[in-house]
């Protein structure tokens, strides 16, 4: 890898005119903010991740030794650190959404869910139908409160909802939209107070941002471990991309960076116990999937670097790409590193960008510290 600066200055205002305000984080540089802005402005429902993967690849090519993709669009950037262990740090590029399943005679679109879409927050939302000719604006219909049965508190299933694109009939709708076109909420990312940010699809653009930044920071620090930054596809529909990548790379250890539920808000159910709060640092998961040697190594790196981390118990599964990595081939020592997130799988998720920055610093420190290891195997 060539010596010298590895970053380029940010240009423009980000895709769609959205750029995180400079006050969003006390640590993010302009190009890092623009990268996150561009990821959030680019729709990538499961199975249709190519536009977001292009944004990711364009960024990591600035400082990676190699960038490659596979047949399904998983993207891998490589920093060749020498003789140390091979570490994969991944996020998933896909987001939840919908897909057009039918078009009725009046020109309205019927939907099927893509991933864990929430029917309780889906009606009366502006959407984009992503067609071969570009996005088509639409609205998921909701009868006015004046004419609804006030005793009806049930939510319609997503398959019962329709999208109004303004078409006069079926023929006009079919001229604009094809069966199988993906649909996402037309939700604009917005900074909140301090370093908080709200957007749709933070799950898991923030994870692929951390993976890319980990690679960059490991390279800047001269880590002697090889780092693979990975942006996977189709996590929301079965961890499919991670299954492909885990088999292909077979690294010495893998860290799947994904959002996790913050409980620091009044909407969080009181019987769902955890101690996770926005701004208190990235979350190290313990139990089940999470390999004890990797857990200990990341916690030790946090201690050495003075980075605060939170802990989370995962007794059965993590629900992230780590669950696919750890059973790949003969087993990859794996960890789920969480990024606290409020209101997950809604159009208004909320994260603290300080947690993202700390996660990238932590995993870069982990890569530097791991250079002297031969493996992460448990010593029995």
Same domain flag for 127 and 150: yes
**C-alpha distances out from residue 111 to 4, 141, 163, Å:** 50, 12, 8
Cα–Cα dist 230/246, whole Å:
10
In this prediction, residue 148 carries a pLDDT of: 81
The mean pLDDT value for 284-290 works out to: 96
Same domain flag for 206 and 338: yes
Please confirm, yes or no, whether 235 is among the known catalytic residues: yes
CATH of the domain at 132: 2.40.30.40
Helices first, then strands: H and E counts in the chain: 8, 17
| Model confidence at 181: pLDDT above 50 | yes
Residue 43 inside a domain? The answer is yes
- Count of domains forming the chain: 2
The mean pLDDT value for 249-262 works out to: 97
Same domain flag for 110 and 130: yes
The mean pLDDT value for 218-228 works out to: 97
> Which residue in 235, 267, 275, 349 is the catalytic one?
235
- In sequence order, which ranges of the chain are alpha helices (DSSP H)? 30-40, 50-60, 170-176, 202-220, 240-249, 292-305, 322-325, 353-369
Q: Return the SS3 of 263.
A: coil
In this prediction, residue 98 carries a pLDDT of: 98
Which of 185, 210, 236 is at the close of a domain? 185
Residue 378 inside a domain? The answer is no
- In sequence order, which ranges of 18-134 are alpha helices (DSSP H)? 30-40, 50-60
| Model confidence at 13: pLDDT above 70 | no
Give the whole-number percent of the chain exceeding pLDDT 90.
84
The mean pLDDT value for 253-270 works out to: 94
Bridge partners, 283 (sequence order): 310, 338
- Known binding residues for Zn(2+): 92, 203, 236, 258, 345
Q: Return the SS3 of 314.
A: coil
Residue 70 inside a domain? The answer is yes
Pick the closest to residue 118 from 197, 236, 39 (CA basis).
Answer: 236
Same domain flag for 209 and 293: yes
| Model confidence at 291: pLDDT above 60 | yes
Residue 5 inside a domain? The answer is no
Same domain flag for 217 and 249: yes
Contact 220, 365 (CB under 8 A): no
Q: SS3 for 136-156, per residue?
A: EEEEECCCCCCCCCCCCCCCC
Contact 23, 353 (CB under 8 A): no
| Model confidence at 12: pLDDT above 60 | no
What's the domain range around 35? 15-95+200-372
Q: Return the SS3 of 131.
A: strand
Which of 126, 161, 185 is at the close of a domain? 185
| Model confidence at 103: pLDDT above 80 | yes
Contact 337, 257 (CB under 8 A): yes
| Model confidence at 151: pLDDT above 90 | no
In this prediction, residue 89 carries a pLDDT of: 98
Pick the closest to residue 97 from 76, 59, 128 (CA basis).
Answer: 128
Same domain flag for 315 and 239: yes
Same domain flag for 35 and 121: no
Same domain flag for 335 and 345: yes
- Rounded (5°) CA angle 102-107-112: 25
Q: Which of 27-41, 44-58, 285-299, 333-347 is predicted least confidently?
A: 27-41
Same domain flag for 106 and 87: no
Which of 133, 152, 185 is at the close of a domain? 185
Same domain flag for 74 and 108: no
- Known binding residues: 92, 203, 236, 258, 345
* Tokens 């399943």, located at residue: 101
Same domain flag for 219 and 299: yes
Contact 165, 177 (CB under 8 A): yes
User: pTM for this one?
Assistant: 0.92
The mean pLDDT value for 326-353 works out to: 96
Residue 270 inside a domain? The answer is yes
Residue 234 inside a domain? The answer is yes
Same domain flag for 136 and 168: yes
In this prediction, residue 27 carries a pLDDT of: 66
The mean pLDDT value for 330-353 works out to: 97
Residue 368 inside a domain? The answer is yes
CATH of the domain at 21: 3.40.630.10
Residue 4 inside a domain? The answer is no
Report the chain's mean pLDDT, rounded to a whole number. Answer: 92
């Amino acid at each position: 890898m060539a010596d010298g600066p590895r970053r380029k200055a940010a240009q423009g205002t980000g895709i769609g005119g959205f750029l995180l305000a400079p006050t969003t984080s006390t640590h993010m540089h302009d190009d890092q903010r623009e990268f996150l802005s561009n990821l959030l402005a680019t729709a990538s429902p499961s199975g249709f991740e190519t536009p977001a993967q292009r944004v990711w690849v364009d960024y990591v090519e600035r400082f990676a030794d190699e960038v490659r993709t596979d047949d399904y669009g998983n993207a891998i950037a490589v920093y060749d650190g020498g003789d140390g262990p091979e570490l994969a740090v991944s996020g998933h590029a896909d987001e939840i959404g919908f897909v057009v399943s039918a078009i009725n005679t009046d020109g309205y679109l019927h939907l099927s869910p893509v991933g864990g879409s929430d029917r309780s927050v889906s009606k009366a939302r502006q959407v984009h139908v992503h067609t071969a000719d570009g996005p088509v604006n639409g609205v998921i219909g909701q009868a006015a409160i004046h004419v609804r049965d006030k005793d009806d508190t049930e939510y319609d299933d997503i398959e019962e909802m329709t999208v109004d694109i303004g078409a006069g009939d079926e023929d006009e709708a079919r001229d604009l939209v094809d069966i199988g076109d993906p649909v996402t909420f037309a939700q604009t990312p917005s900074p909140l107070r301090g370093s908080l940010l709200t957007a749709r699809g933070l799950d898991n653009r923030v994870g692929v941002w951390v993976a890319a930044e980990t690679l960059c920071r490991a390279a800047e620090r001269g880590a002697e471990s090889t780092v693979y930054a990975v942006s996977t596809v189709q996590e929301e529909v079965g961890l499919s991309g991670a299954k492909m990548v885990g088999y292909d790379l077979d690294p010495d250890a893998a860290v799947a960076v994904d959002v996790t539920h913050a409980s620091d808000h009044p909407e969080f159910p009181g019987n769902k116990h955890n101690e996770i709060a926005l701004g208190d640092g990235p979350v190290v998961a313990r139990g089940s999937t999470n390999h004890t040697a990797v857990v200990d190594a990341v916690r030790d790196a946090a201690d050495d670097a003075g980075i605060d981390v939170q802990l989370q118990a995962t007794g059965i599964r993590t629900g992230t790409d780590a669950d696919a990595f750890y059973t790949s081939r003969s087993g990859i020592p794996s960890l789920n590193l969480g990024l606290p997130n409020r209101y997950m799988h809604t159009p208004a998720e909320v994260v603290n960008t300080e947690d993202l920055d700390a996660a990238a610093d932590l995993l870069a420190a982990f890569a530097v510290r791991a250079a002297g290891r031969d493996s992460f195997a448990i010593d029995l």
